[in-house]
Amino acid sequence: MFGFASATLSLDAKPLAEKAEVLFFAPFSGANPVRKASPVVFTLRASYLEELEKMLAFWTGLGFKQIVVVHCDDEVGKQNLAAVVDYLAKQGKQPKAFSLQRNAKVDTTQINELLKLKPDVLINTVLSGPAAEISRQLATQGRTVPMSSLSFVGAQQYISAAGKSGAGVSIAQVVPNPTSTSPVVRECAKALQDAGITVPMNGTHLEACIGAKVLTEAIRRTKKPGNPEGLINAMRNLGTYDTGGFVVSYGPTKQHGSKFVDLAMVTRDGRLRN
Determine the pLDDT at residue 161: 93
Q: What is the pLDDT of residue 103?
A: 74
Which pLDDT tens digit goes with each residue over 59-107? 999 999 999 999 988 888 888 888 899 989 988 889 999 999 877 788 8
Question: What CATH fold (topology level) applies to the domain 7-44+180-250?
Answer: Rossmann fold (3.40.50)
Give the pLDDT of residue 223: 82
Average pLDDT, the chain: 93
Q: Among 3.40.50.2020, 3.40.30.10, 3.40.50.2300, 2.10.109.10, what is the CATH number of 49-174+262-273?
A: 3.40.50.2300
Residue 151: is its pLDDT beyond 80? yes
Topology match between the domains 7-44+180-250 and 49-174+262-273:
yes
Percent of residues, the chain, with pLDDT higher than 90:
76
- Predicted pLDDT at 47: 93
DSSP string, the chain: -B---SHHHHHHHHHHHHHHT--EE--S---HHHHS--SSEEB-SPPHHHHHHHHHHHHHHTT---EEEEEESSHHHHHHHHHHHHHHHTTT---EEEEE-TTPPP-HHHHHHHHHT--SEEEE-S-HHHHHHHHHHHHHTT----EEE-GGG-HHHHHHHHGGGGTT-EEEESS--TTS--HHHHHHHHHHHHTT--SPP-HHHHHHHHHHHHHHHHHHH-SSTT-HHHHHHHHHT-EEEESSS-EEEEBTTB-B-----EEEEE-TTS-EE-
Dihedral sign for Cα 80, 84, 90, 93, please.
negative
Q: Which residues pair with 248 in a beta bridge?
A: 241
Task: Identify whether the C-beta of residue 208 lies closer than 8 Å to the C-beta of residue 2.
Answer: no
Q: Where are the domains of the chain?
A: 7-44+180-250, 49-174+262-273
84 vs 95: CA distance, rounded Å: 7
Q: CA 228: distance to chain centroid?
A: 28
Torsion angles phi and psi, residue 3, rounded to 5: 70, 35
Question: pLDDT-based confidence at 8, cuts 50/70/90?
Answer: confident
Flag whether pLDDT at 225 surpasses 90: no
pLDDT of residue 178: 92
How far apart, in Å, are the Cα atoms of 152 and each of 107, 124, 203?
A: 22, 10, 10
Contacts for 4-12: CB closer than 8 Å, 24+ residues apart: 4/28, 4/29, 6/152, 7/31, 7/33, 7/34, 7/76, 8/76, 10/34
Structure confidence at residue 97 (pLDDT): 94
| Prediction pTM value | 0.90
Exposure string over 79-114, b if 16+ CB within 10 A, otherwise e: bbbebbeebbeeeebebebbebeeeeebeeebbeeb
Spatial strand order of the sheet with 96-100 comes to: 96-100, 67-72, 121-124, 147-149, 170-173, 262-266, 272-273
pLDDT tens digits, one per residue of 193-218: 999 999 999 999 999 999 999 999 99
Q: Is residue 226 over pLDDT 90?
A: no
Distances (CA, A) of 248 to 36, 42, 172, 194, 252: 19, 11, 18, 26, 14
Write down the pLDDT at residue 272: 86
Tell me: the pLDDT tens digits for 15-72? 999 999 999 999 999 988 899 999 999 999 999 999 999 999 999 999 999 999 999 8
Q: For the beta carbon of residue 220, count every other beta carbon within 10 angstroms.
A: 9
- In the structure, what pLDDT confidence band is assigned to residue 143 with cuts at 50, 70 and 90? very high
